[in-house]
Amino acid sequence: MNTSDKEEMKQFLDEIIKKINVKDFIKDDPVQFPHRFSKKQDIEIIGFIISLISWGKRTMILRDAEKILSIMGDSPYQYIMEGSFPEPSSVAVHRTMNMEDFIFICRGLNYVYSKHESMEEIFTGRDMFDGIEILRKMIIEANGLPGHRAERQISAPSKGSACKRIHMFLKWMVRNDGIVDLGIWKSISPSSLYIPLDIHVINISKHLGILKRKQNDRKSVEELTSYLKDLRPDDPVIYDYALFGLGVTGYLKDKQNI
């Protein structure tokens, strides 16, 4: 795609962003849950855990996120640091995540916060994929249970995962345009973020011809993010709003009916 084509694409996507990246977006999206807190650690913890369950029907995600908040109470950070977790069980939290998995993650976060004041420290000065790998390893090591079923709740960059849900969490923490994303991490530039590669983003990107790779994996994330950096080097993942928005508003279906 030549320069003029990219400029045309940028103008098209920028117009979509203006319609999607608005305050009203928050009330129907999982990002509403970290928005309910003011303490940095509370925002991080609930944002991270809610991001892990952000797959499937949105109504189910929002319902089960409310369930998680009812467990953790008014301060997720206090809940994590007190460490008084219930007995592990097979009771469902969200789809494939059960209470045993949830406690595994909470125990891991207890360890993370015993070493770091903020999760931000893990990602500062690193590639975001490397930060995800370090965070994942810390959570697993804290439980002393390598190979536990709960490991699958946290994507592994070393295995080529796109890490969609955690990149969404990082977008929430880093981007700060005062609209939807919270932007509480000040040591990390939005330019270092990667696009959260969900099914809507994949389908729209392929339709627009800006993603060639067929697999939903890390290489696809890197390919698409590289393209988006050409459009906006300082903030490439702002285009998540455009690509995701086009997906959920039936853009492809409308194009097929033309």
The tens place of each residue's pLDDT in the chain, 258 residues long, gives 556 799 999 999 999 999 999 999 999 999 999 999 999 999 999 999 999 999 999 999 999 999 999 999 999 999 999 999 988 899 999 999 999 999 999 999 999 999 999 999 999 999 999 999 999 999 999 999 888 889 999 999 999 999 999 999 999 999 999 999 999 999 999 999 999 999 999 999 999 999 999 999 999 999 999 999 999 999 999 999 999 999 987 766 665 543
Task: Render pLDDT for 106-137 as a digit per residue (tens, 0 to 9).
Answer: 999 999 999 999 999 999 999 999 999 999 99
Secondary structure class of 100 (helix, strand, coil) = helix
Residue 133, token pair as written in the block: 């790998």
Rg of the chain over all Cα atoms, to the nearest angstrom: 18
Q: How many CB atoms neighbour CB 225 within 10 A?
A: 19
The position carrying tokens 């729209």 is 204
List of long-range contacts for 45-50, beta carbons under 8 Å, 24+ apart: 45/72, 45/76, 45/77, 45/80, 45/109, 46/72, 46/76, 47/169, 47/172, 47/173, 47/182, 48/109, 48/119, 48/166, 48/169, 49/76, 49/102, 49/105
Residue 18, token pair as written in the block: 């203006």
